[in-house]
Amino acid sequence: MNGKQAMSDQQKHIEREYSRVLGAYLKAGDESALSRAYELGRRAMIEGLGVLDMAVLHGVAVEELVSSAAPADQHRLTQVAADIFKELLSPFEMSFRGFRAANEELQRLNESLRKQKEAVEVANRELESFSYSVSHDLRTPLTAIDGFSHILLQDYAHLLDDDGKRCLRNITSATQHMGQLINDLLSLARVKFGEVHRTDVDLSALAISIGQRLQARSPQRDVHFDVQSGIHASGDAHLLAVLLENLIGNAWKFTSKREHAKISFACEQRDGRTVYTIQDNGAGFDMAYAGKLFAPFQRLHLARDFEGTGIGLAIVRRVADRHGGRVWAEGKVDGGAKFQFTLGGERKP
């Protein structure tokens, strides 16, 4: 592109033409000079020249005429110059009104956008608090269902045949699943509304203890869990524990069909920020659905393959959000998954 050069050529052309037009109007009084000055102003505006450019070229043209005009023309020059200059500037005036109107329209749109955003936020908050209280209230009847099912299983099992016992066991397992769902919903809401107390958190130690708990729960599994030592972060200890539990728990879950599972937790500096990475060699996912991963209740795998409530990653995203960071994922079907997050609150060169 040679825009600057082209513009100055155009400017020179307009300058020359303007001088000529001014001179012609002064000498012959031909009104078409006014139209030509108007057209020059129009072209200058379209070419992106400014009002100051116009003032300068007008000054130069007048200067020239002052020295060369016949004495009879000298005193007419002031009026003639004003007439022609007005024509040159008229298109700018017209365009400024357009810009002003466009700007007002833009402000109006911004304002209505802001109001809409506020309305959405209010609606969201109401929905959140509604879902929190509903979840909370659902617990009581669920506890009753769970409790009475257990009583039936323990005290009245002898009155039921095998089919009856199976039904009852299905009820208790469904009840437990629903209990987990409610707990996750409540924890999602708490992550959203709770305060963030930043302290120095030893993420490596946290990751190792989460790994140990998972291993203890399923001792038969062979998982190589590689944790980079000395990873610290400034953040809310409780929220970061929830985040790591979800991400490491996911990695643990989605590598369950691997004979030799591998999970790693590491961090690196990128563009002045610390990026934390949890990677596994598990079931992975289709990148086409990467955008849906972090939305609540989105599950990319069948419940019979990998159980879960579909809320874990929504919680992870909220924790990252609450810290001013973000989370993103890469994966390949059957080729493992890589989750990365930042926690904000830093930017070193």
Contact with other proteins (CB under 8 A) among 12, 28, 29, 35: 35
Quick one: 8 or 170, whose CB is closer to other proteins?
8
d(CA 213, CA 261): 16
Is 337 in contact with 251 (CB distance < 8 Å)? Answer: yes
Taking CB under 8 A as the rule, does residue 46 contact other proteins?
yes
Give the Cα separation of 111 and 105 in Å (integer): 10
User: Judging by DSSP bridges, how do beta strands 261-270 and 223-227 pair with one another?
Assistant: parallel
Please tell me the count of residues contacting other proteins according to CB under 8 A.
22
Phi then psi dihedrals of residue 5, to 5 deg: -65, -45
310 DSSP 8-state letter = S
Binding mask 78-97 for other proteins (x = CB under 8 A): --------x---xx-xxxxx
Q: Which stretch binds other proteins (CB under 8 A): 29-37, 121-129, 172-180, 186-194?
A: 29-37
Closest approach, Cβ 32 to other proteins, in A, equals: 5
Euclidean distance between CA atoms 67 and 205, whole angstroms = 87
Residue with smaller CB distance to other proteins, 91 or 308: 91
Q: Taking the complex as a whole, how short is the minimal distance between the CB of residue 195 and other proteins, in angstroms?
A: 49
Cα 93 to Cα 98: distance, rounded to the nearest angstrom = 9
Minimum separation from the CB atom of position 46 to other proteins (A): 5
Separation CA 299–CA 317 (nearest Å): 15
Cα separation of the two ends of the chain: 33
What letter would DSSP give residue 266? E
Is residue 25 near other proteins by the rule CB under 8 A? no
Q: Which of 11, 20, 24, 47 binds other proteins (CB under 8 A)?
A: 47
Dihedral angle, C-alpha 181, 183, 188, 190, nearest 10 °: 160
Shortest Cβ 35–other proteins spacing (Å)? 5
φ, ψ for residue 297, nearest 5 deg: 65, 15
Pick between residue 94 and residue 303 the one whose CB is nearest to other proteins. 94
Closest CB to other proteins among residues 7, 77: 7
Which of 8, 28, 29, 32: binder of other proteins (CB under 8 A)?
Answer: 32
Part of the chain binding other proteins (CB under 8 A), chosen from 40-48, 67-75, 188-196, 261-269: 40-48
Residue ranges with strand state E in the chain: 198-202, 223-227, 232-236, 261-270, 273-280, 327-331, 337-341
| Interface with other proteins (CB under 8 A) | 31-32, 34-35, 38, 42, 45-48, 86, 90-91, 93-99, 101-102
